[in-house]
Structure 1
Amino acid sequence: MRPQIVLFGDSITEQSFRYGGWGASLTNTYSRKADIVVRGYGGYTTRWALFLLHHIFPLGSTTRPIATTVFLGANDAALPGRTSERQHVPLEEYKENLKKIVRHLKECSPTMLIVLITPPPIDEEGRLKFAKSVYKEKAMKLPERTNEVTGTYAKECVEIAKELGVHSVNLWSKMQETQGWQKKFLSDGLHLTPAGNKVVYEEVVKVFNGAWLSAPDMPSDFPHHSEIDPQNPEKVFEQRCL
């Protein structure tokens, strides 16, 4: 069986197989090398994600992922007293939830490559514009997320990764290295454009390649067609697959 790479997260992961999505790009890169399994849940926080762990990553499973990305925090960082306050998770709880997720994954498989991805930066103007398009005159005057607060969650995500000895992608910082990132990388102030998805894809692949999960170095699951002798096709399958 092909090994599995699981993408675990919120809507940014759920949407990763859309046109230009980072999950779709990973599938292309790891074609015939590994199956990319998307487990993204729009609107979810780390608090709610904890209820999914034993279902998605059962401890007794014999088919454990070789790698998992954990992309949560954008919803946790929603501000209390504003439109998305039901999703707000206090920073200290967010940190503890991330630790619980990582510890469960390590218990599931001590050899699993774990990558924590920080929430992306927030374009507050873009969020306000999006809110007005949805709620019209009922839209709040203040954005439900701010880039500064989201940055504190991103910082802690990176610190948790260091503390627990796993990898991380600081998407919040990386995207802001590019001038005009607000419109270039974000479609509604939060979710990703194809260019934003490309940043996630490139950063995740960089981590994979720097670890032990470089696609070119992984074996294909069955022989390449050029290896098949049309007069004796079973030979290569006997050598490679038995």
Structure 2
Amino acid sequence: MAKLRPHFVLFGDSITQHSFANEGWGAALADLYSRKADVFLRGYSGYNTRWALLLLDKVFPKVSSSAPEVVTVFFGANDAALPDRGSQRQHVPISEYKANLHQIVSHIKGNSETTVVVLITPPPVDEVGRRVYARTTYGDKAEELPERTNEVTKLYAQACKDVAKEAGVPVIDLWSLFQQTQNWQQAYLSDGLHLTPRGNRVVFEELVNVLNCRPYLTADELPMDFPPFSEIDWKNPSSIFQAKE
């Protein structure tokens, strides 16, 4: 079956999975491209790049006719979990993280060279916010030390940017962008890691900026898949569809 609209795929961890929630960045993107592009959510809470590799053939099968026009790749928050604390099972060494990102980009580009792959760095970590969240959620069982630190996450964000430069694909540096705002911890992060509505808005606006650099992918330029109702002749409704064919 031929595609009626371009396909955008959002591939990532929980920050992507949650992006279709109220005021989420994925929902905003789907709304902006309503009737112009299909936005597919492929976010997997808790996943790191090691596990993401196991999904590549299923999420991005080698069928050229179904290759997406745009893919966001948003992993790293879990890879950056510290190996000696509560989320150690999610930790991926930084060298492997880089290699995994390269493999993800290569797989997607191998299916279609025209696919625009956009890497997104992990956001910064508010360690105080993570401790507050842990105590609120787990009470006395909460660990005293945060399972992630902003210092370590910075290294993964830089690795993501390095991969983007090496692979020749655009990148959104959330780690740096968020910290340009005063009180970014409360403004952009709901629990020290996941995004508030304002944080989601930043991701959405930055992604739209990337797409707007490619006029053929802008919401203004992409056509609607079928004529607006105002153009339909109510006495002979099929005529406009026959004319379009």
Distance 2:93 2:46 in 1: 16
Deviation at 1:7, TM superposition (A): 0.2
| Corresponding residue number in structure 2 for 1:50 | 53
What is the correspondence of 1:96-115 to structure 2 with a 5 Å cutoff?
96-115=99-118
CA-based RMSD: 0.9
5+ residue gaps, structure 1, are none
**Alignment equivalent of 2:224, drawn from 220, 223, 239:** 220
What letter corresponds to residue 180 of structure 1 in structure 2? N
Deviation at 1:61, TM superposition (A): 5.0
The superposition leaves residues 1-21 of structure 1 with CA deviations (integer Å, 9 ceiling, x where unpaired) of 212100000000000111100
What letter corresponds to residue 172 of structure 2 in structure 1? V
**Alignment equivalent of 1:192, drawn from 180, 184, 195:** 195
**Alignment equivalent of 1:230, drawn from 199, 210, 234:** 234
Q: Which runs of 4+ in 1 moved over 4 A?
A: none
Q: SS at 1:133's partner residue? A: helix
Asked whether 1:80 is paired with 2:83, we answer: yes
Asked whether 1:8 is paired with 2:4, we answer: no
5+ residue gaps, structure 2, are none
Distance 1:51 1:157 in 2: 19
Q: SS at 1:62's partner residue? A: helix
Q: SS at 1:37's partner residue? A: strand
The superposition leaves residues 108-130 of structure 1 with CA deviations (integer Å, 9 ceiling, x where unpaired) of 11100100000011010000111
What letter corresponds to residue 37 of structure 1 in structure 2? F
Asked whether 1:129 is paired with 2:129, we answer: no
Is the 8 Å Cα contact of residues 72 and 120 (structure 2) preserved in structure 1? Answer: yes
TM-score with structure 1 setting the length: 0.97
Deviation at 1:187, TM superposition (A): 0.5
Distance 1:23 1:208 in 2: 14
Asked whether 1:92 is paired with 2:98, we answer: no
Distance 1:63 1:80 in 2: 38
Bigger drift between 194-203 and 227-236 goes to: 227-236
Q: SS at 2:217's partner residue? A: coil
Identity, % of aligned pairs?
58
Distance 2:136 2:83 in 1: 22
TM-score with structure 2 setting the length: 0.96
Distance 1:228 1:64 in 2: 32
Asked whether 1:162 is paired with 2:153, we answer: no
Q: SS at 1:174's partner residue? A: helix
Distance 1:161 1:167 in 2: 6
The superposition leaves residues 174-198 of structure 1 with CA deviations (integer Å, 9 ceiling, x where unpaired) of 1111111101110000001111100
Deviation at 1:135, TM superposition (A): 2.2
Distance 1:104 1:66 in 2: 14
